[in-house]
Amino acid sequence: MIKLVEKLYETQNLTDSELKSLITAEDGETAYQLRFRADEVRQRVYGKKVFLRGLIEISSYCRNDCLYCGIRRSNFSAERYRLNREQIISCCENGYKLGFRTFVMQGGEDAFFTDDYMCGLISEIKEKYPDCAITLSLGERSFESYKRMKEAGADRYLLRHEAADGKLYSKLHPKELSLENRMECLFSLKKLGYQTGSGFMVGAPFQTADSLAADLRFLQKLQPQMIGIGPFIPHRSTPFAGQTGGTLELTLRMIGILRLMFPKALIPSTTALGTIAPNGRELGLQTGANVVMPNLSPVSVRKKYDLYDNKICTGEEAAECAVCLRRRIESAGYEVSEERGDAAV
């Protein structure tokens, strides 16, 4: 399969059947070559820089019922919380002191966060930190809502498409959600000028090499600036509690493939990857990822933003994420950037 890695490296593309062969290639030589080429491409475009995004998990209330997610509305054992304005601003203050120049406000689809409320919050943060980028990750909203928040100063939006294969999408989501609407949201975000992020889980129940290939094809169509992927990890109180999770090897293979297909993309080495392997995030960085997202949420709520089991960075040591990640980035051979970290053009 080394030949396929080389072809992907040279041309940024493969045929469907080649793509599937590479996705399923489990041998060590392929893994080695993919990592070697992915790192070469990432260093050509971004050098050794790793961009930091301070993640603020603003609410664990969610009106949706995605079958894989620990904060789905039918999980009655989930603990719910919502940060108030002062708490969110103080996370930003803290993050700014730690050198972060991007704040990501992420949460479940919580009706409390109206457009008026979000626009007020966004302009307040922008006024205080004009040199910082604001990223939102608040799920599906209307075109008008995305538009207003953009006008208020939001720069980026993360909305994983989750599964580009319609059949798989409907096995992972309740009937009320449609892949069509998801995709429409993503195209709206791009049209409105957001730097847009999409992505999917690796090793989700019922996922096949075909569905992963469909995810890559969809990303080629969308051309997002950011692509977030991480292993699926079962959550004990969801319908998928008994399913097996995604593996480190497949996740790394997908990160490497993404770097070769999308040389300029911003690709995070995710907390989920760090959860399934102690050095998962370092390996992600060495296989083409160039972003990490330290958790800036107040320690008191971190356990409650409980998307999957055994999530790291939720204990008492959690105040140290920024320091911990800095050390990990350096130990993996990279350097922390103090820039906003917009996508290369």
Q: Which residues contact ligand 5AD by CB under 6 A?
A: 68-69, 160, 162, 201, 230, 232-233, 235, 272, 307-308
The residue type found at 311 is: K
Which residue lies nearer to ligand 5AD by CB, 68 or 262? 68
Instruction: Give the three-class secondary structure for 226.
Output: strand
Give me 112's structure tokens.
């409390």
Smallest gap from residue 69 Cβ to ligand 5AD (A): 4
Smallest gap from residue 209 Cβ to ligand FES (A): 31
Binding site partner of 61, from ligand FES, ligand 5AD, none, Cβ cut-off 5-8 A by kind: none
Dihedral angle computed from the Cα positions of residues 175, 224, 295 and 59, in that order, rounded to the nearest 10 degrees: -30
Instruction: Give the three-class secondary structure for 76.
Output: coil
Nearest one of 107, 104, 86 to 95, comparing CA atoms = 104
Name the site residues for ligand FES (rule: CB under 6 A).
294, 313, 317, 320-321, 324-325
Which residue lies nearer to ligand 5AD by CB, 9 or 232? 232
Binding site partner of 325, from ligand 5AD, ligand FES, none, Cβ cut-off 5-8 A by kind: ligand FES
What values do phi and psi take at 117, rounded to 5?
-60, -50
C-alpha pair distances (Å), 26 with each of 10, 34, 216, 247? 22, 12, 19, 11
Binding site partner of 313, from ligand FES, ligand 5AD, none, Cβ cut-off 5-8 A by kind: ligand FES
CB neighbours (10 Å) of residue 315?
A: 10
Smallest gap from residue 237 Cβ to ligand 5AD (A): 11
CA-CA distance, 331 to 242, in Å (whole number)?
35
Smallest gap from residue 320 Cβ to ligand FES (A): 5
Smallest gap from residue 137 Cβ to ligand 5AD (A): 7
* In contact, 54 and 98? CB cutoff 8 Å: yes
Binding site partner of 335, from ligand 5AD, ligand FES, none, Cβ cut-off 5-8 A by kind: none
Which residue lies nearer to ligand FES by CB, 1 or 319? 319
- Which residue in the shown chain puts its C-beta closest to ligand 5AD? 308
